Amino acid sequence: MNKGLFLDRDGVINHDPGDYTYSLEEFHILPTVIEGLKLAQDKGYKIILITNQGGIAKGLYAESEVHRIHDFFKSECEKSGVHITDIFFSPYHSELSNSLSRKPQSLMMERAIHRHKIDTASSIMIGDRDRDIECAAKVGVKGIKIPTNSALIDYIRGLE
């Protein structure tokens, strides 16, 4: 079994401007993120992003733009020797439809746990919203809530 580091995206990995990150041009990786992910990887964590992308359902941006952002992020990480194990996103929004994948529901995490043989007892979810922590709790993963746009490495240093 593997231990997983589950991460929310906006406000944890990249700067959250307060609404949506609409395009690659607005996607700014926060300082210390890649360094923090390298440290987590060196500690044996599989790195998995779990992110709501409700702007797709609202018609604010296309799913292709989300893939473009994620491809860029993975590429930037690879330059520093960081492998992103997987990225799961929910294109739904609770104002328009219900979905078991949208956090605080846990389907994205359940899929990641199954696909990557993750040991939930030794895994962590880091997010900046209550829904991230609620989602993690539903699958038995410890959640750590951090302030939006804070230094991720400060929280990764404390991981076993």
Contact criterion met (CB below 8 Å) for 128 and 16: yes
| Predicted pLDDT at 63 | 92
What is the C-alpha to C-alpha distance for residues 142 and 92, in angstroms, rounded to an integer? 25
List residues with catalytic annotation.
8, 10
pTM of the model: 0.94
User: Which amino acid, 93?
Assistant: H
Cβ atoms 41, 85 nearer than 8 A: no
Helix, strand or coil, per DSSP, at residue 24: helix
Cβ neighbour number for residue 70 with a 10 Å cutoff: 19
- Segments making up each domain of the chain, as ranges: 3-156
Q: Which CATH superfamily is domain 3-156 in?
A: HAD superfamily/HAD-like (3.40.50.1000)
Cα distance between residue 130 and residue 78, in whole Å: 30
Predicted pLDDT of residue 92: 66
Radius of gyration from C-alpha coordinates of the chain:
14
Residue 98 has what pLDDT?
74
pLDDT digits (tens, 9 = 90+) for 14-57: 999 988 898 999 999 999 999 999 999 999 999 999 999 988 88
CA–CA distance, 31 with 33 (Å, rounded to integer): 6
What is the total residue count of the chain?
160
The ranges of the chain with pLDDT < 70 are: 92-93, 95-96
